[in-house]
Chains A and B, each alone.
Chain A
Amino acid sequence: MKRQAGLSFTVVVMWVLLLVGTGAGTVAWAGDVYRIGGIFAVTGPSSFLGDPEKRSMEMAIDEINAAGGIDGRKLEAVIYDSEGEPTKAVLAANRLISRDRVLAVVGTSLTPTTLAVIPIMERNRIPLVSCAAGIDITEPVRPWIFKTAQSDALAVGAIYEHMKKEGIERIGILTVENAFGESGRHQLQTKAEEFGIQIVHASSFGARDTDMTAQLTRIRGTNPDAIVCWGTNPGPAVVARNLQQLNINVPLYQSHGVASPRFIELAGDAADGIYLPTGKILVADQLPEDDPQKEVLTRYIESFESRFRMPVSGFGGYAYDAVYLLAEALKGSDGDREKIRSSLEQISGHVGVTGIFNFSPEDHNGLSSDAFVMVRIENGEWKLLDQ
């Protein structure tokens, strides 16, 4: 039995090693051009973010080149796959800087990977436009670091405003145990008081958990007016299903992390009645004609869908906006990184897919809460709610 125990220990250690994967990136090279790097989670569990981001970046670069490039120079993208892992993102960042000598970097897709590459970007004085949502990326403001994704704080604000209108005061929250969920929980807790909302119970679930009935039962015991679930697929779909199975008739709010058709597919009819904040892209066709973003959104959706023959996702726009922002900053810079950085900081009123960007030395995200709209899922469709 001693030997068996020894073997079992080895088995456990190896199992942990199993959780690590492998992969490789793509390389491109050309002559006298402005070269921009990209680091996205193209494969791996976060590929739902990285894959559309990579496609959108390539599309934006091609569009700009087709229109004559910038100051007569073409743009060129060098994109690496981080697989959503900080170590691989760091490797990619070093390679982009030392081998590919890029002017600026777009990415990464996730908050942990972005936080891992920030020190490298700052040390080498390379502008980084991140596509991740975490508020820690741009708060406190770091001179070389920008981001295009809406901060979680804005999503929480949109949810709480809607709750206030509905007269909801006591809520239970259920967050996923990763950086996205932690950030969401933190924002939900810090903003609650401002909106007069009381969190009666905070619970969490693992990203790969198969059943959340125990957590929901505990939340039900505290009698909340609503439940907020904060996570990315597939967990929140399990929560939606469990809520329906347990017959808990309390409004469910989800985060923008599940704002994709995939969520409705996974949750089935349990998705009906769920409220969530999302970028305008999901409901572009329902936006009023006078919405300032309508034109950009329609153009982006049409070219994405005709080029890739797949439905547009809510996430590719982060990279698309990042490229267009960089293109604007590149104008007249003659490839000087410091000039790119300072003109990025001065961009204002830039209408993007995600929102209207107003950068300033104090704000490197540049979005306001109107970058989010509240939607309700009805019969498997997103329904824009009156703002």
Chain B
Amino acid sequence: MQEILQYFFSGITAGAVYAVIALGFTLLFNATGLINFAQGEFVMLGALVLITLWKVLALPLIVAFALSVAVVALIGILMERMALRTVRKPHPIVMVIITIGISIFLRGVGMLTWGKDAHSVEPFTQHAPVEVYGATLLPQSLWILGIVLIIVAGLQFFFKRTLAGKAMEACAISKKAAWLLGIPSEKMVLAAFAMSAAMGGVAGVLIAPITMSSYDMGTMLGLKGFCAAMLGGLGSVLGAVIGGLLLGVIEAFGVGLVASGLKDVLAFLILLLILYLRPSGLLGAKSIQRF
């Protein structure tokens, strides 16, 4: 019982981070139909910028957090402006390949800026771990879950209650129709890039204290986030969160109950099964509405 609970705690912590990365994929996919390869690199940048701002420059955590996310969002905007909008014939495959190039570029920048070694940083707060029926719940896990909850609530509010959110949703449904109605779709795409990159940044900030951060951490995390997004159904905010948590928990139980070597195998097996059996994901467009 104690072990089961521990696996669950480990799983939802990792899963919450996957969920935030998956949200990044989903937000961008909704507004542009694009899958951004550099999403994992945004996570890496978020983590390493936080380490620089918080640990090296000793800024207050909240300032370092906000600045890190802002820096990554800015990089997302630059990416859209400089690399993607300038493409003459925006065929999906061309765009995807450009994002691959950007991801390799960002990894190179990360390596030159922060070196090849891993870096670590303290948890957000120095509370003792909480004991729950013999299992240990880390304060950082609570931070992560709390922040993910706030993000999801915020996104729901944004898409349901604000004009900008509805405009973005309109762009997602039909870019042309939205444009005919006077919605500045280019601005909406830019905003989607900023938000998607910011999600990557948040994921990086959240994960930095529980693991070691290095320039090459992004690829695997990006792939896991993509698995989560596909699992939940690409394009659904709720799906991304459920997909992420589910993936994290499945991984943790796979390690705990079956064999530790199966961790990544499980994630990719799920991805393949989902692509094969139900490409729209668990909560994909067929079963529920996108937002």
- In the complex, which residues of chain A have a beta carbon less than 8 angstroms from the beta carbon of B216? 45, 208
> In the complex, are the beta carbons of B212 and A221 less than 8 A apart?
no
In chain B between 252 and 282, which residues have their CB closer than 8 angstroms to a CB of chain A?
252-253, 255-256, 260-261, 263-264, 271, 275, 279-280
Closest Cβ of chain B to A154, distance in Å, is 26
Interface residue? A319 (CB, 8 A): no
A14 neighbours in B (Cβ, 8 Å): 37, 96-97, 100
**B275 contact set on A, CB distance < 8 A:** 5, 8-9, 12
Beyond A217-B10, A245-B136, A247-B136, whether A262 also contacts B116 by CB under 8 A is: no
* Distance between Cα atoms of A335 and B189 in the complex (Å): 67
In the complex, what's the smallest C-beta–C-beta distance from A15 to chain B, in angstroms? 6
Assembly CA distance A355 to B271 (angstroms): 49
Majority secondary structure, B binding face? helix
List, in ascending order, chain A residues with CB within 8 A of B93's CB: 7, 10
- Complex Cα gap A163–B217 (Å): 35
Task: Known A211-B13, A245-B129; judge A11-B37 contact (CB<8 A).
Answer: yes
Which of A4, A12, A245, A247 contacts B234 (CB under 8 A)? A4
Structural contact, B217 and A208, CB atoms closer than 8 A: yes
- Contact flags B210-223 to A (C-beta < 8 A → 1, else 0): 11101011011111
Contacts A1-B285, A10-B93, A177-B261 given; does A266 touch B120 at CB 8 Å: yes
Are B212 and A238 within 8 A (Cβ)? yes
Q: Kindly report which residue of chain B lies nearest to residue A244, judged by CB atoms.
A: B129
Which of B1-9, B57-65, B71-79, B193-201 lies on the face that meets chain A? B1-9
CB atoms of A210 and B136 under 8 A apart = no
Q: Which of B203-257 contact A (CB under 8 A)?
A: 207, 210-212, 214, 216-217, 219-223, 226, 230, 234, 252-253, 255-256
Interface size on B, residues (CB 8 A): 58
One digit per residue, 1 when the CB lies within 8 angstroms of any chain B CB and 0 when it does not, for chain A 1-41 equals: 11011011111101100110000000000000000000000
Q: Are B210 and A205 in contact (CB under 8 A)?
A: no
Give every chain B residue within 8 A of A209 (Cβ-Cβ): 263
Assembled-state Cα–Cα distance A193/B220 (Å): 38
The answer to whether the Cβ of B14 comes within 8 Å of any Cβ in the partner chain is yes
List residues of chain A with CB within 8 A of the CB of B6. 213-214, 217, 246
Does A48 make an interface contact (CB < 8 A)? yes
Kindly state the separation between the CA atoms of A359 and B104 in the bound complex, as whole angstroms.
Answer: 45
Our pick among B117, B138, B264, B279 for the contact of A2 (Cβ within 8 Å) is B279
B120 touches A268 (CB 8 A): yes
Chain A residues lying within 8 Å of B116, measured Cβ to Cβ, are 43-45, 47-48
Report if B32 contacts A (CB, 8 A): no
When the two chains form their complex, are residues B96 and A10 in contact, meaning their CB atoms are under 8 A apart?
A: yes
Q: Which of A7, A11, A43 has the most CB of B within 10 A?
A: A11
Distance from B94 Cβ to chain A, minimum over Cβ atoms (Å)? 12
CB-defined contacts of B255 to chain A, threshold 8 Å: 203, 214-215, 218
On chain A, which size bracket covers the interface?
35 or more
B26 interface contact, C-beta 8 A? no
Give CA–CA (A8, B29) in the complex, Å. 12
Interface contact A210-B207, CB-CB below 8 Å: yes
Question: Chain B 100-127, CB within 8 Å of chain A: the 1/0 string?
Answer: 1001100000000000111110100000
A234 interfacial contact with B, CB 8 Å: yes
Residue of A nearest to B220 (CB): A208
CB distance from B179 to the nearest CB of A (A): 23
Q: For the complex, what is the distance from the CA of A19 to the CA of B230, rounded to whole Å?
A: 21
A7 in complex: contacting residue of B7, B35, B103, B214, CB < 8 Å: B35
Q: How many whole Å from A43's CB to the nearest CB in chain B?
A: 7
**Which chain A residue shows the least CB distance to B97?**
A14
B219 near A15: Cβ-Cβ < 8 Å: yes
CB distance A211 to B263 under 8 Å?
no
Choose among B96, B138, B211, B219 the residue that contacts A19 (Cβ–Cβ < 8 A): B219
With A211-B13, A211-B14 as known contacts, state yes or no: A233 contacts B136, CB within 8 Å: no
Contacts of B119 in A (CB 8 A): 266
Q: From residue A175, how far is it (CB to closest CB) to chain B in Å?
A: 9
Judged by a CB distance under 8 angstroms, whether B154 is at the interface is: no
Q: Does B184 contact A (CB under 8 A)?
A: no
What residue of chain B has the Cβ atom nearest to residue A12's Cβ? B271
Residues of B within 8 A of A177 (CB): 261
Q: Say whether B146 faces chain A, with CB atoms less than 8 Å apart.
A: no
| B90: interface (CB < 8 Å) | no
A204 close to chain B: CB less than 8 A: yes
The CA of A238 and the CA of B207, in the complex, are separated in Å by: 12
CB distance from A36 to the nearest CB of B (A): 26
Nearest Cβ on chain A to B278's Cβ, whole angstroms:
10
A260 to chain B, nearest CB (A): 10
Once the chains bind, are B129 and A246 in contact (CB under 8 Å)? yes
Binary interface profile of A, 107-123, with partner B (CB < 8 Å = 1, else 0)? 00000000000000000
B7, B117, B211 interface centre (most CB from chain A within 10 Å): B211
- Does A90 count as interface, using CB distance less than 8 angstroms? no
Residues of chain B within 8 A (CB-CB) of A211 are: 10, 13-14, 210-211
Contacting pair A210 B223 (CB below 8 A): no
Q: Which residues of B contact A5 (CB under 8 A)?
A: 275, 279
Point out residues on B near A: beta carbons under 8 Å. 3, 6-7, 9-11, 13-14, 17, 35, 37, 92-93, 96-97, 100, 103-104, 116-120, 122, 129, 135-136, 138, 207, 210-212, 214, 216-217, 219-223, 226, 230, 234, 252-253, 255-256, 260-261, 263-264, 271, 275, 279-280, 284-286
A-B contact pairs, 5 of them (CB 8 A): A7-B92, A14-B100, A19-B219, A214-B252, A218-B260
4 nearest A-B pairs in the assembled complex, by CB-CB distance? A234-B212, A210-B211, A5-B279, A234-B118
- What residues make up the interface of A, taking CB atoms closer than 8 Å to B? 1-2, 4-5, 7-12, 14-15, 18-19, 43-45, 47-48, 177, 203-206, 208-211, 213-215, 217-218, 221, 233-234, 237-238, 241, 245-247, 262, 265-268
Question: What 12 additional pairs, Cβ within 8 angstroms, besides A15-B37, A233-B212?
Answer: A5-B279, A12-B275, A14-B37, A14-B96, A48-B116, A206-B264, A210-B17, A211-B14, A214-B7, A214-B10, A237-B118, A268-B122
